[in-house]
Amino acid sequence: MTTADGLTRSYLVYIPANYNVSSATPMLFSFHGAGNSPAGQEAITGFSTSAINPNMIAVYPQGVNNYWQGAPYSAAGVDDVSFFKQLLAKLQSTYCVDPSRVYVSGMSNGGGFAGTLACDSVISTKVAAFGSHSGAFYPGGNDANCNPSAVPLTCNPGRTHVPFLEIHGNADGQISYTGGSHNGECMPAITSYVQRWAGLDGFSSNTTTALGGGNTMYQFGQNTAGMPGVLTHIMVNGLGHTWASNFNGFSASPAIMSFFNQWTLSNAA
């Protein structure tokens, strides 16, 4: 597609076997990591397989130069937030999409971009839930006197409760779980990022659940419909900077699908 800024942008689309042109279908976006591709993201997630994703249209967009907006190495002047808005509108006019069940996920740079989209005042009202795996959350400032626990979260969501799932390995050697200086910016500790998101959602305390294998899930708050874990973080013990697939008994893709399937725009208000 050609975007409003004149760029030609591409993406892959997976249509589930049970898709019906007369039946509103949920849609999942999955953004690749830095230097990767839609095909690579499709391969690691398994979102184009009926075993993991039986009923959602899956969309894998391509970043300009294989990067996404928000990272210091992304292409200058490219507005990927606007690209997402235009792509969503195009796909909703092409397919029979359930507007209350649109979801966004991503890996690494794509996971950080999922966070950027969740913070957008418009997109946060059009996407039911967001998910990030090994997210690279760049704050946009320099790394002088870096304090990972004090990195601010610049965010302006358009609704009170924004369901957000963050999955991260505590042995990630690229996007460190404890944060710190990276590519010239001070990246937040993942626990700090999650707590700041929880604060935006209006939650101050969490429930901790051991998942086995040293993996731990932290769930913050519930919405007005009583749904738990509006803000959920899963720490994968020993995982590096890679998509979790049966690592210490944990697989990210089914966890993301399970999280998304809890939420619609109406019950996440």
**What distances in angstroms separate CA 239 from CA 147, 171, 186, 235, 254, one per listed residue?**
24, 5, 22, 9, 17
Q: Domain ranges in the chain?
A: 11-261
- The pTM score is 0.96
- For 130-141, the pLDDT digits (tens) are 999 999 999 988
User: Could you give phi then psi for residue 126, rounded to 5 degrees?
Assistant: -115, -15
Question: Does 42 score more than 70 pLDDT?
Answer: yes
Q: Is the pLDDT of residue 222 over 90?
A: no
Cα separation, 202 vs 241, in Å, equals 30
pLDDT at 224 over 70: no
Confidence class for position 269, pLDDT limits 50, 70, 90: low
Q: What b/e string do you get for 225-259 counting C-beta neighbours within 10 Å, with b at 16 or more?
A: eebebbbbbbbbbebebbbbeebeebebbebbbeb
Which tens digit of pLDDT belongs to each residue from 191-207? Answer: 999 999 999 888 988 99
158-202 pLDDT, tens per residue?
A: 998 999 999 999 999 999 999 999 999 999 999 999 999 999 888
11-261 folds as Rossmann fold (3.40.50)
Calculate mean pLDDT across residues 142-158: 91
User: What is the identity of the amino acid at 110?
Assistant: G
State the average pLDDT over residues 43-72: 97
Could you give the C-alpha distances from 178 to 85, 190, 223, 265, in angstroms and in order?
32, 6, 29, 32
Strands 25-31 and 97-107: parallel
More confident position, 225 or 170 = 170
Q: What is the pLDDT of residue 64?
A: 97
Tell me which residue has tokens 């892959």. 12
Percentage of the chain lying above the pLDDT 90 cut? 87
- Tokens standing for residue 249: 């008994």
